[in-house]
Structure 1
Amino acid sequence: MWLLSVLVPLLRLYLCGIKVLLYQTFNRSFTLPVLPKQNGRVAIVTGGTRGMGFETARHLASLGMHVIIAGNEREEGATAARRIREEGGKGKAEFVFVDLTSLKSVRHFAETFRDRGLPLHVLINNAGTMLVPERQTEDGFEFHFALNYLGHFLLTNLLLDTLKRSGRRGCCSRIVNMSSATHYAGIMDMDDLNRRKHYSSHGAYAQSKLALVLFTYYLQEQLTAGGFPVTVNAVDPGMVDTALYDNLWTLAQAMKKPVAKILFRTPAEGASISVYAAAASEMEGVGACYLYNGEKKQSAEPSYDSELQAKLWKKSCELVGL
């Protein structure tokens, strides 16, 4: 039983990876269209200190945005913001500390941001981790679930009023959730979201990415019903050569390096889908989409289960104290 609980998620996740690599072998990476200037608009990018998050923050700043890089590496964050500023674009870049695995830290970040009185036009929930060994956060949550999903769930809800006030008809505020093709392998165990019965890092990671898609669809439904000028979309960057893969097994890590050089996308290519969702004219007023390679795709069948969406939302509110 234990062996199956480990092997099945592993096989499901690697099959997803193979499908993505086959697609990327025969299809060119998405090319961004010309994007409208974003002067005066404010964006928060979590995990913006490196990889796709940094490239996303960099591109948005080049369009004129005031970009706040949110992350838990102070020195790396300060360097990232400085690099963007030194490029001489019309936008701004700054780093603000937040530890998304800590509910206290997320609340402090949101409170500090609200106290500044800034608007918020774009929130990109980009930060994530993959295949880390079993561990719990200070609040007692499984690490993938906490960092990839639950911290972003709380952050989004705490900033939602600001996003609502900042948007308007014809110029909506936008929320972008970074999912992954691995969500197709995800299974939501509502009775064991922290994976304490039979831990699998592969299963935990896939579950966290499925949770983000469920969250995306449910939140958009609530916003639409309330008539609020805010859109929410989930994006899939494909397989990108970033530090996310540092936790692969030794053999898989050795195999990944030569493959990544040929078949994986660069961080800038991976970031293009987030930038597209955040700034493209074609995405104005468009929500509840799963975007991959510049196109709207069908996400996993369970992600459209409205009952599961509602259950996850309710449970998440309980877990974070909303």
Structure 2
Amino acid sequence: MWLVSQILPVIRLYLVGLKVLLYQLFNKSFALPVFPKQNGRVAIVTGGAKGMGYETARQLTSLGMHVVIAGNCEEEGIAAVKKIQAEKHEGKVDFQYLDLASLSSVRQFVQKFKDRGLPLHVLVNNAGVMLVPERKTEDGFELHFGLNYLGHFLLTNLLLDTLKKSGRPDSCARIVTVSSATHYGGVITLEDLQSRSCYCSHGAYSQSKLALVLFTYQLQQRLTSGGFPVTANAVDPGMVNTDLYENLCSLAQLAKRPVAWLLFRTPAQGASTTIYAAAAPELEGVGGCYLYNGRRTQSSDASYNEDLQAKLWRQSCALVGLQDEGRRAD
């Protein structure tokens, strides 16, 4: 049983990865169209100091947005801000500290942002870790689940009131959450969300990405039922050549190098669907979608399980200390 629980998640993840690579071999990366200017809109991009997050922040700034890069390394964040500012875009960009592996840091970030009196039109939940050895967050959660999912769950919920006030019926605020194709191999076990019974980094990562899709769909249902001018969508960037792969085993690292050079997307290409979800006019008022390579596509069968969506939401509220005010009648 232990052997199965360790091997199956690895097989699932690499099979999904192989499928994505085959797609990328035969299909061009989505090319961003020209978007209208977004002057006056404010965006937060988590993990915006490097990789896809940086490209997202850079592009949104070029559209005229005021972008707040949220990250847990001040040095990297300030360097990213200076680099974007040097391009002399119409928009503004600044950095604010956020450690998604700490619920208190998430709360402090939100309070500091609200103290600035800014509206919020776009929230990009981009930051994440992948395949890290077994570790816990400051609050004792398994790291993939705690940082990739729970940190963003709390952040989004604490910023919802600002998003609702900032959106308008003809110009909705947008929540864009970066998931991954690995969610197709993810399994949510509500009784063991912390992977305590048997830790496998591949399974933990896939679970966190499935949780983000479940969260997005449940969030959109609640926003729609409340009539709020906010949309929530999940995006899949494909396989992108970033630092996320640094925790691969030595053999996998060796195999990755030539494959990444040939088939992986660049960070700018990986960020294109996120930027599309954040700014495309044709997605105005459209939520509850899973977007891949610039198109709406089907996510995993498990992600559409409304009972699982609702139960995960309620359990997540309990874990982060939120009252489930928007609870629907079951």
Q: Which interval holds the TM-score relative to the shorter structure?
A: over 0.9
What are the equivalent positions in structure 2 for 1:135-214 lying under 5 Å apart?
Answer: 135-214=135-214
Cα distance between partner residues in 2 of 1:244 and 1:290: 21
Deviation at 1:310, TM superposition (A): 0.3
- Deviation track 1:278-297 (CA, whole Å, cap 9, x = no partner) reads 00101110000000001111
- Structure-1 residue corresponding to 2:229: 229
Deviation at 1:138, TM superposition (A): 1.4
Report how many aligned residue pairs link the two structures.
Answer: 322
- The one-letter amino acid paired with 1:233 is N
Cα distance between partner residues in 1 of 2:244 and 2:275: 20
2:215 is the counterpart of 1:215: yes
- Deviation track 1:110-158 (CA, whole Å, cap 9, x = no partner) reads 0111111100000000000000000111101000001110000000000
Deviation at 1:2, TM superposition (A): 1.2
What are the equivalent positions in structure 2 for 1:35-46 lying under 5 Å apart?
Answer: 35-46=35-46
Cα distance between partner residues in 2 of 1:206 and 1:182: 5
- Deviation track 1:32-52 (CA, whole Å, cap 9, x = no partner) reads 111110101000000001000
- The one-letter amino acid paired with 1:130 is M
Cα distance between partner residues in 2 of 1:240 and 1:275: 15
- The one-letter amino acid paired with 1:298 is Q
- Structure-1 residue corresponding to 2:106: 106
- Structure-2 residue corresponding to 1:248: 248
Gaps of 5+ in 1: none
- Structure-2 residue corresponding to 1:9: 9
Cα distance between partner residues in 2 of 1:317 and 1:146: 13
Gaps of 5+ in 2: 323-330
- Structure-2 residue corresponding to 1:294: 294
Deviation at 1:56, TM superposition (A): 0.2
- The one-letter amino acid paired with 1:166 is S
Aligned-partner SS, 1:191: helix
Cα distance between partner residues in 2 of 1:75 and 1:178: 24
- Structure-1 residue corresponding to 2:63: 63
Give the TM-score of the pair, scaled to structure 1: 1.00
State the Cα RMSD in Å.
0.4
- Structure-2 residue corresponding to 1:29: 29
Give the TM-score of the pair, scaled to structure 2: 0.97
Cα distance between partner residues in 2 of 1:105 and 1:211: 21
- Structure-2 residue corresponding to 1:89: 89
- Deviation track 1:53-83 (CA, whole Å, cap 9, x = no partner) reads 0000000000000000000011010000111
- Structure-1 residue corresponding to 2:20: 20
- The one-letter amino acid paired with 2:16 is C
Cα distance between partner residues in 1 of 2:155 and 2:64: 24
Cα distance between partner residues in 1 of 2:244 and 2:222: 32
State the identity as a percent. Answer: 69
- Deviation track 1:2-39 (CA, whole Å, cap 9, x = no partner) reads 11111000000000000000000000000111111010
Cα distance between partner residues in 2 of 1:59 and 1:213: 24
